[in-house]
Amino acid sequence: MEPSPQTDLELVTRFQAGDAAAFDELMGRYKHPVLNFVYRLLGDAAEAEDVAQDVFVRAHQHLGTFQFWSAGAKLSTWLFTLARNAVIDRQRWRKRHPAEPLEAVAESDFPAAADASREASDREVGRHIADAVGALPEDQRTAITLAEYHGLSYADIARVMNCSEKSVETRLYRARQTLRQRLAFLLE
What are the pLDDT digits (tens) for 120-149?
667 777 788 888 888 889 899 999 999 988
Write down the domain spans for the chain.
1-101, 113-188
Give pLDDT tens digits for 56-114.
Answer: 999 988 887 776 555 566 888 889 999 999 999 888 887 887 765 544 444 444 445 44
The type of residue at 11 is L
Write the CA distances from 80 to 36, 44, 77, 157, 181, integer angstroms.
Answer: 11, 18, 5, 9, 28
Number of alpha helices (DSSP H) and beta strands (DSSP E) in the chain: 8, 0
Q: Options 3.40.50.2000, 1.10.10.10, 3.30.43.10, 3.40.800.20; which CATH number does 113-188 get?
A: 1.10.10.10
Query: What's the CA gap between 91 and 41, in Å, rounded?
Result: 10
- Asked whether the domain spanning 113-188 has the same topology as the one spanning 1-101, the reply is no
The type of residue at 164 is S
Query: Which residues, in sequence order, are CB contacts of 118 under 8 Å at separation 6+?
Result: none
Tell which CATH architecture fits domain 1-101.
Orthogonal Bundle (1.10)
Give pLDDT tens digits for 55-64.
Answer: 999 998 888 7
pLDDT score, position 68: 54
Q: Could you tell me if 168 and 143 are in contact, meaning their C-beta atoms sit under 8 angstroms apart?
A: yes
Query: What's the CA gap between 166 and 154, in Å, rounded?
Result: 8
